[in-house]
Structure 1
Amino acid sequence: MAYWLFKTEPDAFSIDDLQQAPQQSTFWEGIRNYQARNFLRDDVQVGDQVFIYHSSCKIPAVVGIATVTKGAETDPHQFDLSSDYYDAKSSKDNPRWVGVTLCYQQHMPRPVTLKAIKADDAITELALKKAGRLSIMPVTDAEWTHICQLGGTE
Structure 2
Amino acid sequence: MKASYLETIALIERLHRQCMDVVKNELDRQGVRDLNAVQAMILFNLGESELTVGELTQRGYYLGSNVSYNVKKMVEHDYLKQERSPHDKRATHLRCSEKGLQVCRQLDALFEAHAGDLTANGLEGEGLADTNDTLRRLEGFWAAARLGVRPSYTSAA
TM over 0.5: no
> What is the TM-score when the length of structure 2 is the normalising length?
0.30
> What is the TM-score when the length of structure 1 is the normalising length?
0.31
Structure with the larger RCO, 1 or 2 (CA within 8 Å, 6+ apart): 1
> Which structure has more strand as a fraction of its residues?
1
Determine which structure has more spread, i.e. the larger CA radius of gyration. 2
> Which structure has more helix as a fraction of its residues?
2
